[in-house]
Structure 1
Amino acid sequence: MNWILKGALSATLLVAGAVGAMAEPGVTDDKVVLGAVDPLTGPPSLLGKAHRLALQVWQDDVNARGGINGRKVEIVFEDDGYVPARSLQALKKMVEVDDIFGLIGTSGSAQLAAMMPMINELGIPTLNNMAVNSHHFNPPLNPLFVVGPTYCQEIAAGMTYLVEELGLKDGKYAIAFQDDEFGDDVRCGYLEGVKKYGLNNVLELEFKRGQKDFSAEMLRARAAGVTVLVSGGVVAEHSIMLKEAAKNRMDITFLGAHSAHLTPVQALAGSAGDGYYAADYVPALTSLEVPGVAKFMELANTYLSEDERNSLNRYSLAGYAGALIFEHAMAECGADLTRACVIEKLEGLDGFETDGLLGPVTYGKGNRHAPTAVIVLQSNADKKDFTIVSERMEIE
């Protein structure tokens, strides 16, 4: 009898062990744990904090609605300081200690690249909307989904606006770009525009990352008679170039990538920051005529303090839109939430809408990049906001 009882107990333990082994990481009957790696310290924290706040707003809203199929969402946030090695350390910690199910914050371009081998090896469903680089999806990794155009696609669309809407085909064009992959991607879009429209490319200026003095570059641009300048800077570089151009009394049209769509750029540039253009794939926080923006700002007023709301920017809208995409995929999986199911549901998205935050989102087999669409915004420095001045331009 004792032998029979012992055998039954052993069988029970084996079954329980097998069930435990099959359980999805980060998923219980009433909770799902997600992870986000963001730069929360140092100069890039301007981006990371805004992104984190949006994810917190989404988390609070989801949970107030009862969770996703009855499961409350818990997001674990880790700071990488915008250092790739720290990004990988953060992911390892979230996998080994926090047992995350998926990843909805991936920091910068090089930072995500450092995490990609682990994401792929463990099959962690991941959505990147922070910094888009073709290396993130070419070749595609099965669990990694990217939303938003590359900087190359963004600037190329912005060049289309300059030529076809502003009538600047006969201008003298120049680009100032950072000496790294980011700068190369911006230059890619610039050269596409130059080639497409046969533009007069009079000057290409490469500068060091973190450079603070652009007096020599702007003097060269003035001597070359530049009338249109494309900026391949991150944040501060835009404002410094704008101020130098104003100091040299240059009458130029200025275009930046989405990193120029930030009120700190306007603030640093002062009066020189009025009227420049930024190509982006999300609207402005003040674009309340867009349903998705109005909804997000309503939620932000509910869940964030005034100081926190003052830290929001375009990275908040991108982060919130990405969270909505991930929420949809998890909801579609029903009660049986698995990593494989979320990956399958993301892959199956075809024209998914985010109430105007993004253009339609589409993936597919072998396709892990949804470039959505680009809009052009114009800076209103005195009002500290941006106005949408173009229609959405679809990316082919």
Structure 2
Amino acid sequence: MNWLLRGTLSAALLAIGTAGAMAEPGVTDDKIILGAVDPLTGPPSLLGKAHSLALKVWQADVNARGGINGRMVEIVFEDDGYVPARALQGLKKMIEVDDIFGLIGTSGSSQLAAMMPLINELGIPTLNNMAVNSHHFDPPLNPLFVVGPTYCQEIAAGMKYLVEDLGLKDGKYAIVYQDDEFGDDVRCGYLAGIEKYGLDNVLEVKFKRGQKDFSAEMLRARAAGVNVLVSGGVVAEHSILLKEAAKNRMDITFLGAHSAHLTPVQALAASAGDGYYAADYVPPLTALEVPGVAKFMELTKTYLSDAERDSLNRYSLAGYAGALIFEHAMAECGAGLTRACVIDKLEGLDGFETGGLLGPVTYGKGKRHAPTAVTVLQSNAKDKSFSIVSERMEIE
């Protein structure tokens, strides 16, 4: 082989090697492939379907606007049924088969925990806005960004509202909470409020996940004179507790985390679901005075059917807001889109606005949690809506 042929071959091999080294998973000249793991079947599908519909709306809208620096967005969805092992299995499939670039749907708290080691190992830029727990960011993982307050922070803010706005400092307080990380996080916020305001904590009751009968627990609460109750349930438990309180003719102020901000809770509780409070970091779907809500709801008229629009809930707004954050970071990277660049751009966010869907979003070096702010909502069971009743409370 002469020197010219050898030189040409060496140059070709170098070019191939360089192109291979530069290739980024899920990115081509005209496409970006993203992944989302959501519970799309079973009872938790109430959360996952609403979240995935919002991502579909964002995908359709961003592509209608020309994509991200000319690249169209494609989202691959995997159903984990709210089972951690299935969440990890779905992520592996999206990596090995679909070749995803990033992850913008992470299912529940335990489901994300199961995926975290692989996310960290491969450096997959990931945004979690579905279920926020402190172990998602403490200690921080470089590629994983969390937006929204923890349940602990939500309930602590809700307790502040009960005392400072409703004047319930002299109430008899109780908490009924699920025996898992979620329930412990709700209890964390409850106890923070108890300690901060010197409240009378007369009863704490832990229950098994999936429990359907709370008659004994509410009889204990009535006997203890409870008139303020914090619910550490996920969805159905709120309504059962409310109905038991009504059955026992208890005059009670009820507070739940953002999972209580769902019309199915109102529907299950019927008339007992009127007037309860929920702490949340996104506004109601009906808050059209909020620019981000108005824009999202207008987009849904174009991209969703009437039946799909009926399935929207607060998880839709959280999902849409998260997608806007991820879009901004990808757009900032320009044509040279890489995972490392997106992680860097997310880390650099300082007061990023989402049209009022969330409070200002800020990350930083070693900071992977943006707790944003909390508002308290009140249930209007008759018209299946929620009203904003507090000012936006910044997380301390």
TM-score, reference length from structure 2: 0.99
Distance in 2 between residues matched to 1:39 and 1:8, nearest whole Å: 53
Shift of 1:15: 1.3
1:159-170 correspondence to structure 2 within 5 Å: 159-170=159-170
Q: CA deviation at 1:194?
A: 0.3
Superposition deviation, residue 45 in structure 1? 0.5
Please show how residues 174-323 of structure 1 align to structure 2 within 5 Å: 174-323=174-323
Q: Equivalents in 1 of 2:122, 2:393: separation in Å?
A: 36
Q: CA deviation at 1:3?
A: 7.0
In 2, Cα distance between equivalents of 1:72 and 1:170:
57
Q: Which amino acid aligns with 2:252?
A: I
Moved more, 25-34 or 9-18: 9-18
Matched, 1:387 2:387: yes
**Aligned counterparts, 1:50-65, within 5 A:** 50-65=50-65
- SS of the residue corresponding to residue 70 of structure 1 reads coil
Mapped partners of 1:70, 1:292: distance in 2:
24
Aligned-partner residue type, residue 310 of structure 1? D
Q: Which residue of 1 aligns with 2:341?
A: 341
Offset from partner CA, 1:128-168 (integer Å, 9 cap, x none): 00000000000000000000000000000000000000000
Q: In structure 2, what is the equivalent of residue 359 of structure 1?
A: 359
Are 2:135 and 1:140 equivalent residues in the alignment?
A: no
Q: How does 1:56-95 map to 2 (within 5 A)?
A: 56-95=56-95
TM-score, normalization: structure 1? Answer: 0.99
Q: Quick one: distance in 2 between partners of 1:3 and 1:98? A: 42
User: Cα offset for 1:6?
Assistant: 6.0
CA–CA separation in structure 1 for the residues paired with 2:274 and 2:13: 69
Q: Runs (4+) of structure 1 moved beyond 3 Å?
A: 1-7
1:100-119 equivalence runs, <5 A: 100-119=100-119
Aligned mates of 2:114, 2:380 — CA distance in 1: 37
Paired AA for residue 174 in structure 1: A
1:290 and 1:22 mapped to 2: Cα distance? 42
Determine the C-alpha separation between the residues in 1 that align with 2:207 and 2:16: 60
Q: Give the distance between the partners of 1:22 and 1:97, measured in 2 at CA.
A: 20
CA distance in 2, matches of 1:162, 1:282: 19
**Alignment match, 1:36:** 36
Match of 1:369 in 2: 369
Which amino acid is 1:243 matched to? K
1:290-335: per-residue Cα shift (whole Å, max 9, x none)?
Answer: 1000000000111000000000000000000000000000111111
- Following superposition, the deviation at residue 7 of structure 1 comes to 4.9
**TM-fit CA distance, 1:10:** 4.8
Identical columns (%): 88
Q: How does 1:121-132 map to 2 (within 5 A)?
A: 121-132=121-132
Whole-Å separation in 2 of the counterparts to 1:266 and 1:3: 80
Distance 1:369 1:348 in 2: 13
Amino acid at match of 1:119: I
Secondary structure at the counterpart of residue 76 of structure 2: strand
Partner of 1:22: 22
Deviation string 1:346-385 (CA, Å, 9 cap, x unpaired) is 0000111001000000000010000000000000001001
Unaligned runs of 5+ in 1: none
Question: What number of residue pairs does the alignment pair up?
Answer: 396
Q: What is the CA-CA distance between 1:8 and the residue it aligns to?
A: 1.6
User: SS of the residue aligned with 1:97?
Assistant: helix
Give the whole-Å Cα distance in 2 for the aligned partners of 1:235 and 1:261. 9
Measured in 2, the distance between the counterparts of 1:45 and 1:338 equals 32
Q: 2:209 aligns to what SS in structure 1? A: coil
- 2:151 is aligned with 1:151: yes
Q: CA deviation at 1:18?
A: 2.5
Alpha-carbon distance in structure 2 between the residues aligned to 1:372 and 1:92: 31
Worse-superposed segment, 7-16 or 165-174:
7-16
Q: Which amino acid aligns with 1:107?
A: S
Q: Secondary structure at the match of 2:203?
A: strand
Report the Cα offset of residue 16 of structure 1: 1.6
AA in 2 matched with 1:303: Y
Q: Counterparts of 1:111 and 1:206 in 2: how far apart (Å)?
A: 22
Matched, 1:325 2:325: yes
Which residue is equivalent to 1:171? 171
Q: Distance in 2 between matches of 1:181 and 1:89?
A: 22
- What is the identity, as a one-letter code, of the residue corresponding to 1:226? V
Q: Please give the root-mean-square deviation of Cα atoms over the aligned residues, in Å.
A: 1.0
Task: Please tell me the residue identity of whatever aligns with 1:361.
Answer: V
Q: Find the aligned partners of 2:319 and 2:108 in 1 and give their Cα distance.
A: 13
Question: Residue type of the partner of 1:372?
Answer: T
d(CA) in 2 for partners of 1:53 and 1:14?
44
How far residue 17 of structure 1 moved from its aligned partner, in angstroms, is 3.1
Show CA shifts across 1:208-240 (max 9, x none).
100000000011101111000000000000000
Q: Secondary structure of the residue that 1:19 maps to in structure 2?
A: helix
